[in-house]
Chains A and B, each alone.
Chain A
């Protein structure tokens, strides 16, 4: 392999936002470039998940040995959890001060807390991380009651969509974050067949139950003083399970993209909140008409 290059270089950012002061007060330049790079990042995550699923599906169709098929299902899950970790890290970052530092120091308890909040109080996450405008912000920016009504209806649609996406991502992460750790650090995962087929897996297989014939058991241990605690988690790997991991992983990537796009737009434009107008075709005609009239002027606050 090549030698390390001892030369030190520095990185100069080459963006010209309209509101230069807003960048520094909202996370700084590296964070802004990170948001702007979301399209490539999330497209890669989605593609990696999809390719892994294709390999899994092909192995299943070809009748490869069950442990091999199971392993490929775990690869789909691993890649889905990478996308979920990206999203969790972004949410965690935007929930506190110095988001760029928070993003790069996020650990599993932070990600878990972010997803717990997404599950129990999605509105708080949508406000902080997705810059979703509040009633007060909408009413402060627009004087017409018709505008309030139309924007609040557009916000309701966005809230419903994002909340459902958050729920799926939280469900994926909170159920399986230990498996994320296992797949990325040493892969201590026993193939289900080693548990079910004689002579079995001894203590590791005791009490293990799976609702699907194809599964694996993630084995993770913790040392506390002189005590070692070992946990076992069954990971279902039937086709419909792996399809669900694929689907929810891609949703996590999609949601991360929308979070980043929203944040980048907010920083560059100087607007602290907004109402996404993606789903306006689902609005009634009156609201749609009001929205069309407002287009170009639906950022809120400074």
Chain B
């Protein structure tokens, strides 16, 4: 018993809580700063080559920006998939350590089909039952919310809907970016198979013989395909290299922000748990559910922000019914 609460049904600290906490904190303190630094470096290097005649160097610099920006987009796919499709009988984080050639593409290709439950799980409003696949509301799991006033309940619902909508929109944009740039990403990572611009020219498909008068095209970037693709190569003929670099870097940073929010929602529960040096739980502390962590100030009316702020605050109380017959209260807004 901890603070009068029966912890016998809680997840194992050794197998679940501590490893999950360690990995999530590593995301926050190690990985996200690294991803951010990588994008900054690649973009700064690319900008240093602006105006340079060294086309090969510029091509690889641009590929470097694309690759560093695509990394957190892939990261988000792994984390979200792990929490949406948890492995039965294992800690949820384990799924994010399993490599699959399909995880990233599968995640991004399905975004436009996702329903409200899916976005609730991604946002941390619900968790996925590994056996039934059902989305289980976390407020239901944490305790009785009848004490909340109707205005608070409505505000929480509004914030939830605003979050779903924001995620739906943002993720569709990133899905489009993944579809557009993942081939360049793979080409950079696996062999650096950029087309050597100095040796080639791009002409219309109908051209049979190339002469000095044949119109040429110039892609912002072009790579050979990893085999298995139905096309030999890919090039972007629509955007300038500068627009590609700026846009893709922005997308990468958006993905980093999304991963940061994802990690915050999963880490919040650990704010409530006090461990001793040996890793045993010794106390439960008040915590705040980061209900609005995905949102920007303009996503909700000011009145709603005033009601719920960052989110509901949880104070743990004993589940032993007092003699007065009062309903035990597990949550407080």
Contacts and interface: CB of A to CB of B under 8 A. Distances in A.
Given A186-B74, A188-B97, A199-B276, A106 B237 contact: no
B61 interface: yes
Interface string B250-269: 01000000000000000000
Contacts of A12: 200-203, 207, 210
B279 interface: yes
B236 A5 contact: yes
B19 interface: yes
Contacts of B235: 9
Interface string B20-45: 01110111011101110110011001
A84 to B, nearest CB: 12
For chain A, the bracket of interface size reads 35 or more
B149 interface: no
Given A51-B45, A219-B97, A41 B194 contact: yes
B277 interface: yes
Contacts of B190: 85, 89, 106
A104 B191 contact: yes
A14 B200 contact: yes
Contacts of A36: 196, 198-199
Nearest to A54: B41
B204 interface: yes
A9 B97 contact: no
A302 B221 CA distance: 36
Nearest to A41: B192
A210 interface: no
A89 B90 contact: no
Contacts of A286: none
Nearest to B231: A8
Nearest to A65: B29
Contacts of B41: 48, 51-52, 55
A131 interface: no
Contacts, number: 256
B94 A190 contact: no
Contact of A14 (B16, B87, B201, B226): B201
B45 A47 contact: yes
Nearest to A107: B190
A228 B202 contact: no
Contacts of A71: 30-31, 33-34, 37
Given A55-B37, A199-B277, A205-B22, 18 more contacts: A9-B202, A33-B199, A33-B200, A34-B193, A36-B198, A40-B57, A43-B57, A70-B30, A74-B30, A82-B192, A104-B226, A184-B189, A186-B97, A198-B276, A198-B277, A199-B275, A201-B21, A204-B19
Interface of A: 1-5, 7-15, 30, 32-34, 36-37, 39-41, 43-45, 47-48, 51-52, 55, 65, 67-68, 70-72, 74-75, 82, 85-86, 89, 101, 103-106, 181, 184-191, 193-195, 198-205, 216, 219-223, 228, 230
Interface of B: 12-19, 21-23, 25-27, 29-31, 33-35, 37-38, 41-42, 45, 54, 56-57, 59-61, 64, 71, 74-75, 77-79, 87, 90, 94, 96-99, 103-104, 173, 176-177, 180, 188-196, 198-205, 207, 210, 217, 222, 224-228, 232-233, 235-239, 243, 247-248, 251, 275-279
